[in-house]
Amino acid sequence: MGILQTSERSSHLDPSENVIFQRHMIAYLEAAKMISGKVLEIGCGEGYGITELAPRAEQYFAVDKYNTPISEELKEQNNITFKQIEVPPLKGIENNSIDFVVTFQVIEHINNDELFVSEIYRVLKPGGKLILTTPNQLMTLTRNPWHFREYTPNGMKEILQTSFKEIDIKGIYGLQKAMEYYEINKKAVEKIMRWDIFNLQYLLPRVLLQIPYDILNRINRQKLQDSNNALVDAVTIDDFCIKPMTDKCFDYFCIATK
């Protein structure tokens, strides 16, 4: 996998990413309690969520900008179809054909987010549900140049309301160990950003910042792992929870019904 993908495609195989991996996994486990029928995952990444979701579906469609490693055995056992496409639009997916759309940590990477939401609405059956996560801008430690935007609580509601009327927004929160890691990470990021005396992270075009951000992000995570090994290794999915949304959630956990 090329360096342009590394920062935003977390893997359970890298110990330094354990905290972010566990934070992402709680969304998959929560979604697994809800889904059934025909399920579409948009942005399946490294595919670690597929093993949680696909067994709960009658048919599982997965799409991603990059090729996702899915074993033939897993595909056959769980009726999985994978397509490598860029979205939006959702090419080749019929109107009113999907029971659940799952898309985690994706919408922030989409330039035309309103079209993205409208395409999800189009392919959902009446009564079908969108389950979506994306970072809470108010808890972000620095600008992420891989993201076109991040959302405030009001902004999150407004973009979903461009297509959906029935919306329930919850939040993914860190408990004690996860928050301890967050505070350590926050201090580390603040040390790095002291060098940005001209506030270039917000002045330069995001494409110019992607590679430096990617490199510094990886270095920072590895240093946090090296100096806080016991804490990083100890964080599990039980150190996160989902409850009603406030300004202090790490991510929004949104459920929108057609």
- Map tokens 């899915």 to a residue: 70
Return the amino acid letter for 238: D
The predicted model gives 112-134 an average pLDDT of 98
φ and ψ at residue 152, rounded to 5 degrees:
-80, 170
pLDDT at 10: 66
Say yes or no to pLDDT of 9 above 80: no
| Long-range contacts formed by 56-65: CB under 8 A, 24+ apart | 56/32, 57/100, 61/93, 61/98, 63/87, 63/90
CATH number of 13-257: 3.40.50.150
Nearest Cα residue to 257 out of 34, 21, 5: 34
Beta bridge partners of 243: 171
What percentage of the chain reaches a pLDDT higher than 90?
74
Q: For 208-258, what is each residue's pLDDT tens digit? A: 989 888 898 889 889 988 999 999 999 999 999 999 999 999 999 999 999
pLDDT confidence of residue 8: 62
Strands 124-135 and 38-42: unpaired
pLDDT tens, residue by residue, 152-164: 999 999 999 999 9
Beta-sheet strands, E only, within the chain: 38-42, 59-64, 80-84, 98-104, 124-135, 166-174, 240-244, 251-257
Q: What is the DSSP letter of 79?
A: T
Q: Which residues contact 80 (CB under 8 A, 6 or more apart)?
A: 50, 54, 60, 61, 62, 70, 74
Residue 7: pLDDT band with limits 50, 70, 90: low
- Assigned token pair, 112: 């035309």
> CA 12: distance to chain centroid?
14
Q: What gap in Å lies between CA 79 and CA 55, rounded to an integer?
A: 9
Confidence (pLDDT) at 2 = 38
Confidence of residue 200 (pLDDT cuts 50, 70, 90): confident
Q: Residue 249's CB: how many other CB atoms inside 10 A?
A: 23
Residue 31 CA: distances (Å) to CA of 80, 94, 233, 240: 17, 23, 25, 15
pLDDT interval class at 3 (50, 70, 90): very low
The answer to whether the bond into 212 is cis (omega within 30° of 0) is: no
Stated pTM of the model: 0.93
Match 């599990």 to its residue by tokens.
236
Using only C-alpha atoms, the chain has a radius of gyration, in whole angstroms, of: 18
pLDDT tens, residue by residue, 245-258: 999 999 999 999 99
Helix (H, G, I), strand (E, B) or coil at 146: coil
